[in-house]
Structure 1
Amino acid sequence: MSRISVVVPSYNDARMLEVCLSALAAQTRAPDEIIVVDNGSTDDTVEVARAAGARVVSEPRRGVLRATACGFDAAVGDIIGRLDADSRPGPEWTARLEELFSTDPTLDAVTGTGAFYGRGPVWHFVGRYLYLGGYFLFMSAAMGHRPVFGSSFALRRSAWLDVRTRIHLDDPRMHDDLDISFALGPDMGVAYDPALTVLVSARPFDTFSGFLRRASWGFHVVAVNWSDIGWLRRLWLSAQGQRRRRARRRVIARSASASLP
């Protein structure tokens, strides 16, 4: 069985973190370790994390990409899951991660999506189908493969070590899920699984200025990564890589069939 680490970056989100850690404590397949990354909190984030039995690591430099990278670097698991402090995973979340990665050796990353809580039903609909639906649609077109969603995704440790060399840690405006998604190599397998859907807070819609800031950072991530590798070349590399992945899957399937009595 693979070891599973779950990383939760947190900045002044102690009350939401408490609920997230309670959900992790109720998993049918318990994580082998839970890491809370304190990104310079001034509330009782650290105390809440330790009371729940999580390991706390500190990343004083503000920025969600830096916090996520700090937690991933500290993780010891073969599979590294990622939740936000406001995420509320269902009880089968870690079990589903283990199942997905164990049944497909060509899979390097897997993502779920979110269903919103807080505010009202109109915002829940807007958030899930327009905000997140638009995110997956636009970013898939921008990078040539499905992106991961920061509130619910996981990587193999080997994939993280490869991705780690291409992310933009010196840029505090980077969304971690987007930059990691762009850094996933063209041969890497990225899957979407609706069973990994988690509840997430509707707070991105609290203020129009906050929403615009998040959106502007998203376009910034795209621009930076397109300057590294242009859009058309990225699409071509992704198409070639996915063909090679499908070929590997066929070889693995034939080998598995040949080994049956």
Structure 2
Amino acid sequence: MTNATEQRHRPRGSLPDYLTVSVVIPVKNDAVALTRCLAALADQTRTPNETIVVDNGSSDASAEVARRAGARVVECVRPGIPAASALGYDAATGAVILRLDADCVPDPTWVEMVVASFTRHPDVAAFTGGARFVDGPRMLRRPLAAAYLLAYTLATAPALGHLPLFGSNVALRRDAWNDVRSSVHRHDASLHDDFDLAYHLGEHHRIRLLPTAAMGMSMRPFTSASGFATRIGRGFRTVTVHWPHDFPPLRWRRVVWNRLRRDRARSDARLAR
């Protein structure tokens, strides 16, 4: 019988090829937080096959921290999270790509839970998870995180016609990324990369919520009024850059039509067995 220690540090080669996992972390000048993030990834119950840290022009020790932890460092010379995230996805070799931020702290079962969910739901192209704050007033951490994610969903879902992706806790199949990699706005640093990815992925692929895949994240982006205003501005920019093609009524019709076609194809496949 496998003991708990052996299970927690399962050799990387034990994963079947179709379940290989790449973790992508964009970073810029966040060495301290990255150290904590990588330590949490090393303590996963299911070890990722590779961890890719995309260094977006750091002047601190972020790249060295990543290398010491055994991560593969990819240099991104183009500024902005959209460029860094996309480059990380391009570099990933796993069948499943997990994305989080450098200031995130995944729960120990994060990787295992996401991979198990992809196994159970072969029709799902991407999962988006929940979050909790790991700093700030202790009593407010979970309710504020829940309120933030609810507000984000309510603000973005009407534009998309489906669930958005939450960039601090995203998992997607690499073949789904390959379908959209040439259409995402990777060179526009003024928009939200996760929101943009949801536009391109969600029209033809299924996105599903996985609230039990817990993720700790820092409250620091929300402690500055100017920083929060910048986030709002990027949200509007992400919406308008997709118009007129993705003007909501037009997009909703395509999303519904594509969903019906997928459901019909799955039904026909089951009947043909």
TM-score between the two structures when normalised by the length of structure 2: 0.89
Greater shift in the superposed pair: 212-221 or 162-171: 162-171
> In the alignment, which residue of structure 2 is the partner of 1:18?
35
153, 162, 179: which one aligns with 1:162:
179
The 3 A distance-change label for structure 1 pair 201 and 134 is: same
State which of 94, 108, 118 in structure 1 corresponds to 2:135.
118
**Structure 2 residue 47 is matched with structure 1 residue 30:** yes
Match of 2:161 in 1: 144
AA partner of residue 92 (structure 2): A
Q: What is the root-mean-square deviation in Å for CA atoms of aligned residues?
A: 1.7
Aligned partner of 2:210 in structure 1 is: 193
Structure 1 residues 145-190: Cα deviation after superposition (integer angstroms, max 9, x where no partner) = 1011000111111110111122112211121101101111523110
**Following the alignment from structure 1 to structure 2, what is the Cα–Cα distance between the partners of residues 41 and 127?**
30
Change (3 A) 1:163 1:252: same
Match of 2:152 in 1: 135
Cα deviation for residue 87 of structure 1 reads 1.0
Partner of 1:44: 61
State whether structure 2 residue 82 is matched by structure 1 residue 65: yes
State the match for 2:6 in structure 1.
none
What 5-or-longer segments of structure 1 have no aligned partner?
Answer: none
Q: Which amino acid aligns with 1:54?
A: A
Deviation at 1:69, TM superposition (A): 0.5
> Residue 123 of structure 1: CA displacement?
5.3
| C-alpha separation in 2, matches of 1:228 and 1:179 | 14
Q: TM-score, normalised by structure 1?
A: 0.92
What residue number does 2:7 align with? none
Q: Deviations over 1:119-163 (max 9, x none)?
A: 214753563233221111221111011011000111111110111
- Does the CA contact (< 8 Å) of 1:106 and 1:248 recur in 2? no
- Aligned partners of 2:206, 2:64: CA distance in 1, in Å? 37
SS of residue paired to 1:139: helix
Aligned length: 256
1:7 aligns with 2:24: yes
CA contact (8 A) 1:17 1:85 kept: yes
Work out the CA distance in 1 between the residues paired with 2:22 and 2:206.
20
Structure 1 residue aligned with 2:234, among 204, 214, 217? 217
Counterpart Cα distance in 1 of 2:215 and 2:123: 24
Q: Distance in 2 between matches of 1:212 and 1:195?
A: 30
After TM superposition, give the deviation of residue 250 of structure 1 in Å: 3.6
CA distance in structure 2 between the partners assigned to 1:122 and 1:136 by the alignment: 23
Q: Is the 8 A contact 1:114 1:200 kept in 2?
A: yes
- Which residue matches 1:94? 111
Match of 1:241 in 2: 258
Shift of 1:97: 1.7
CA distance in 1, matches of 2:125, 2:257: 16
**8 Å CA contact 2:162, 2:202 repeated in 1:** no
Contact 1:35 1:56 in 2 (8 A): yes
Task: Give the unaligned 5+ runs of structure 2.
Answer: 1-15
Bigger CA drift: 39-48 or 89-98?
89-98
- Provide the rounded CA distance (Å) in 1 between the counterparts of 2:39 and 2:262: 37
Deviates more, 1:57-66 or 1:161-170: 161-170
Q: Aligned-pair distance for 1:25?
A: 0.5
Q: CA deviation at 1:103?
A: 1.8
CA distance in 2, matches of 1:125, 1:118: 10
Query: Identity of paired residues, percent?
Result: 41
Between stretches 171-180 and 122-131, larger displacement belongs to 122-131
